[in-house]
Structure 1
Amino acid sequence: MLYKKILKVFLYILVSLVMLVLTLVAIIYFSENGRIMLPVKQKEAFQNDNLDDFPPMLYVEGNKILQPSGDVIVLRGLMPPDPVKLHSKNKFNKRFFQKIKDSGANVVRIPVHPENYYFNKDYLWRYLVPAVAWSGELGMYIIIDWHYIGNIENNTGEKMPDIDIDAKEFTLQFWKQVANYFKEVPNVIFEIFNEPANISSGQWAKNAAEIIEAIREQGAEQIIIVGGTDYSKDLSWVKETPIDGENIVYASHIYPIHTNWDYYFGDIAEKYPVLITEWGFMDENRNTTDQYYLIGDKQTYGQPFIDYLDEKGIGWVACWFDNSWEPQIFQKDFKSYTNYGAFVMEALKSNK
């Protein structure tokens, strides 16, 4: 009898252990990148004990971005990969944001890829809340970039996410939630759609106005960034049909292949505030990329471009603060810089 009891207890323990292992395997399998993702507390609005010490809300007057004091601020900063990617590299932490701050950056642009937001229902609380908190505590502004690329009206584009929801519907859903959540947070800036593509300026302006209206209806008064057409390169349409509303900034993405800067964004900056929210080049590592539009160097693109922006008082965000996403600021070791990265770090010294 004793033997049977011992055997029964042993089998019970064995079955329990097997069930525990299977549960852990299932959690890891269905988590991000094989990491166990514990639940996060989902508060109804952003809270931080240091909120009063965050950088103050900026506003637009004429073609300038101003601080509450009335002083002009030129935003210059860096763009890391989506927080999900940073997490997979053990880089999603305040130390990493401190490195961005230490570079001289006064703004960080956080790309939110729609597919990541769609499949991770905790994304806002797991990633955006800490990113906003770390940025604010370190004295930086943060651009929340809704990283769609394509046509918002008909869901077309080579890089549109493979998710079961209409782009416009999801975009409005995202901004209603995010704007409502962060409406009282002064260092937050909203960039409504990363790169409109294969869409007319008229169609894009109409959709942008709807997104802006949805944000403002939440009570959020912070700056809203509207990108140009043709992958955010072209802002020429703003001259004839500017977006109606307050605190609107226009964004352009300019890479080495793009010329005629006056036409695409420079002339617009004479009347409206413009921010370059993506730029960069690949030099010594040019043979490793199939993104031909990134191939360039400091002499023929980097320095002339920065000089042009400085002359016009236009701010910028360089991408990517990473060792693999192109154009990379870091070498593969994530310590030394590429030629491009070294140039960016030098350019940011003026912010210190």
Structure 2
Amino acid sequence: MKKFLIIAGLIVSSCSEASTPDPIPNPDVTTQDPGPVGEVNYFGQLKVTDGKLTNSEGTAVMLRGVSFGWHNWWPRFYNTSAVKWLKNDWNANVVRAAMGVDPADAYLENPEFAIEKIKAVVDAAIAENMYVIIDWHSHDLYPAQAKDFFIEMAKTYGDKPHVIYELFNEPDYETWEEVKVYSEEIISEIRKHDPDNLILVGSPTWSQDIHLVAQNPILDQENIMYVLHFYAATHKDYLRERAEKAYQAGLPLFVTECAGMEATGDGPIDTSSWNTWLSWMESRKISWAAWSIADKNETCSMLFPAASSEGNWTGSQIKPWGEVVKKALKKNLD
């Protein structure tokens, strides 16, 4: 599921780290029982104001939710009922539709099926007044194909404030200069049809090199944020310190993929590290989506194979990581 790289003895995957000049809230906060569950918040048109995600009045807001697994491997969950369940039972106000690009039977081989699955999730989220991330889920550059795809998405959904575009899930070995040029070209095409919806830009080394972005951000564009990914058992203080520096410099951050285990997507859940990351995001109002709604035999897949395709998941059908994420979502409503 995840790619990873070993550099100077460190396993590197999809995020970055940051220093914490402000005190981190109690990292055990998410181990408490969830508080009262209320209506999931919908904030209308989102915008980026002074490095923060805000509503149209400029008040800082926060999205919290989950990412579906790759559409080409877990298409059974890409449906209206699953989206409704994630809102009504898990209290997610954002879902991420992770459209696989280059594996077998993914977008490059079967674009009609890919678009069908993505639209099913997007249409359901709009109907439920949730936000939805349209994720170009790739590790490599396909600029021509990405441009065509995002033009179609912007033409279809450019008038829907629920929609968020994620241009490049996890660049791996590309330089920031390459990713920046690619992103600027795609942004230009999207803005011809959608002048104001949120756009998310990835960074090298599986969306961890946020420090490179902070040194040379995209200029003259509104309502863009930069993607940060982390896997808490692998990515600890060094990546959070890196992200914190970028945040303090005013770089708008959005964690579109995160989880509590190793960067491989497997291994034990590091509860302490996950809670520290969660507290950091909550204290800075950095939005997040946890990985993933899938039933693969790995720690980061939230469901067992016996789980229904359409929600209504019982406790026995939800894996431990799914329970951790569900608890965090039910507790942390604005």
TM range (shorter): 0.7 to 0.9
SS of 1:275's equivalent?
A: strand
State the structure with bigger RCO (CA 8 A, min sep 6), 1 or 2.
2
Distance 1:93 1:313 in 2: 29
Tell me by how many angstroms 1:112 deviates: 1.0
Task: Show CA shifts across 1:122-172 (max 9, x none).
Answer: 34762233322210111210000001113x2xxxxxxxxxxxxxx121112
| TM-score, normalised by the number of residues in structure 1 | 0.72
1:128 corresponds to 2:138: no
Tell me by how many angstroms 1:325 deviates: 6.8
1:145 corresponds to 2:135: yes
1:315 corresponds to 2:287: yes
- Correspondence list, 1:38-57, <5 A: 56-57=44-45
Choose which of 315, 325, 328 in structure 2 pairs with 1:347.
Answer: 328
Q: Which residue of structure 1 lines up, in the alignment, with residue 202 of structure 2?
A: 227
| TM-score, normalised by the number of residues in structure 2 | 0.75
Tell me by how many angstroms 1:292 deviates: 4.4
Distance 2:195 2:245 in 1: 29
Distance 2:214 2:78 in 1: 40
Task: Show CA shifts across 1:263-308 (max 9, x none).
Answer: 43222122122111111134xxx9xxxx646434243321111112
How many residue pairs get aligned? The number is 275
Identity of aligned residues (%): 25
State the superposition RMSD in angstroms.
2.2
Choose which of 75, 83, 89 in structure 2 pairs with 1:97.
Answer: 83
SS of 2:58's equivalent?
A: coil
Tell me by how many angstroms 1:84 deviates: 4.5
Any conservation in 1 of the 2:207–2:229 contact (CA below 8 Å)?
Answer: yes
Any conservation in 2 of the 1:81–1:321 contact (CA below 8 Å)?
Answer: yes
Task: Show CA shifts across 1:308-348 (max 9, x none).
Answer: 21122211100111221741112343243322221111110
Distance 2:159 2:279 in 1: 36
Choose which of 231, 246, 257 in structure 1 pairs with 2:234.
Answer: 257
Q: Which residue of structure 2 lines up, in the alignment, with residue 266 of structure 1?
A: 244
Write 1 or 2 for the structure with the bigger share of helix: 1
SS of 1:331's equivalent?
A: coil
Sort the Cα spacing of 1:120 and 1:199 in 2 relative to 1 into closer, same or farther, 3 A: closer
Task: Identify unmatched segments of 5+ residues in structure 1.
Answer: 1-53, 153-166
Distance 2:53 2:277 in 1: 20
Tell me by how many angstroms 1:121 deviates: 4.2
* Larger Rg over CA atoms: 1
Task: Identify unmatched segments of 5+ residues in structure 2.
Answer: 1-41, 308-313
Any conservation in 2 of the 1:281–1:295 contact (CA below 8 Å)?
Answer: no
1:275 corresponds to 2:251: no
Q: Which residue of structure 2 lines up, in the alignment, with residue 238 of structure 1?
A: 213
Segment of structure 1 superposing worse, 259-268 or 314-323: 259-268
Q: Which residue of structure 1 lines up, in the alignment, with residue 269 of structure 2?
A: 297
Sort the Cα spacing of 1:120 and 1:241 in 2 relative to 1 into closer, same or farther, 3 A: same
Tell me by how many angstroms 1:218 deviates: 2.9
Any conservation in 1 of the 2:47–2:56 contact (CA below 8 Å)?
Answer: yes
Distance 2:94 2:264 in 1: 28
